[in-house]
Amino acid sequence: MAKQSYMYQIGERVITYNAQSGTISSIVHDEDGGSFLLVKLDHMTGEYAYDFSEVTRLAKVRSNHRTKAEPVLSRC
């Protein structure tokens, strides 16, 4: 498994491991050297703490989706 880059920025749009989209409101560094993200979810009040491995950039997720093509009309 490739190592994930943990370079996130405040204001960046993310989606959580449980499919909730939101915006990073803060990056917190604790005394033990650990770090986590505070995310303001779109459909819930308050901020929620997530580990870096529990979120994915929303733009990265959207780029992996396929778009539906227009139907091709056959010419008879």
Residue spans per domain, the chain? 13-60
58 phi, psi to nearest 5 deg: -65, -35
Longest dimension (CA), the chain: 72
pLDDT digits (tens, 9 = 90+) for 5-23: 458 899 999 999 999 999 9
Q: What is the pLDDT of residue 60?
A: 65
Q: What is the number of alpha carbons within 13 Å of residue 56 lying toward its C-beta? A: 11
Q: What's the pLDDT tens digit per position in 50-64?
A: 999 999 988 765 555
Cα separation of 34 and 74, whole Å?
59
